[in-house]
Amino acid sequence: MRRKLAAGNWKMNGTLTSVTEVMTLCATHKDPGVDLLICPPATMIRTLGTATTDHAMHIGGQDCHAQASGAHTGDIAARMLADAGATHVILGHSERRADHGETSADVHAKALAAHDANLTAVICIGETLAQREAGETLDVVTAQLHDSTPDSATSDTTVIAYEPVWAIGTGKVPTLEQIGEVHAALRIALTSRFGQDGDAFRILYGGSVKGSNAAEIFAVPDVDGALVGGASLKAEDFSPIITALENA
Ligand code: PEP
């Protein structure tokens, strides 16, 4: 019922030479059984959007401003991402929450701007190691989910990515039971807030997903795909993750 999604977050990596990685992915996964998304730096969106026009590959931004335009030097409006060819935008990634002090209220405002520009918002939430060790994980992630996601969100316009902060780029992965516990709690929160449509929201897992652990993570109930950082930069690393998701 929920079409799975393999999403790559290139962070501050990628120049013109990286186009070949995406074209290799497109050639390897010509008729993918899952949705595919690459979120490169903003400088690469138009180039990749144009290069993948005839392929089942979506291109997204990594952040947008909450305002439609104005005096915000260095920022990018959601409509500018859409104008460049983006269909999605990652919002509230833990690196933005940490590096730029983004709150869930900020993410909520950015999600509204993304929806206004017809972009699908990929809203990231996740606990720190200290919060997990204090037994606060479910409280933290359900509060972030509630506060970051607008009431007007739907399963068509919004994807949730559960990314434990301590698992991002560290090689550390929660146990399958821990992933399952969080995804189940998020599903309950979504259905109690959005009714039947809450069951249709996709919930991605993110944090040190690799070809070697993807299949077991994708077998966890309510894991509808992955948001992948480091392993999305090279086609040879991302492709096995896509294949594992297609086979899940
Ligand atoms: C991310 O940046 O969203 C991420 C999950 O990174 P990594 O896969 O490298 O842990």
CA distances from 86 to 33, 61, 92, 97, 124 (A): 21, 6, 17, 22, 18
Range of the domain at 47: 5-246
Q: Which pLDDT tens digit goes with each residue over 112-144? A: 999 999 999 999 999 999 999 999 999 999 999
C-beta separation of 207 from 163 below 8 A: yes
Mutation choice for ligand 1 from 170, 172, 179, 228, CB with most ligand atoms inside 8 A: 228
Instruction: Look at residues 170, 162, 144 and name the one whose alpha carbon lies nearest to residue 227.
Output: 162
Catalytic site includes residue 93: yes
User: How many other CB atoms sit within 10 Å of the CB of residue 155?
Assistant: 17
Distance 157 CA to ligand 1 centre (A): 22
The span from the CA of 12 to the CA of 17, in Å, is 14
Distance 205 CA to ligand 1 centre (A): 10
User: Residue 1 — very low, low, confident or very high, per pLDDT cuts 50/70/90?
Assistant: confident
User: Residue 83 — very low, low, confident or very high, per pLDDT cuts 50/70/90?
Assistant: very high
DSSP 8-state assignment for residue 203: E
Active-site option among 29, 88, 93, 183: 93
Catalytic site includes residue 65: no
The span from the CA of 30 to the CA of 19, in Å, is 16
Question: String of b and e for 188-210 (b: at least 16 CB within 10 Å)?
Answer: ebbeeebeeebebbbbbbbbbbb
- Residue identified by tokens 């897992």 is 205
DSSP 8-state assignment for residue 147: H
Q: Which pLDDT tens digit goes with each residue over 163-205? A: 999 999 999 999 999 999 999 999 999 999 999 999 999 999 9
Q: What is the pTM of this model?
A: 0.97
CATH no. for residue 58? 3.20.20.70
| Number of domains composing the chain | 1
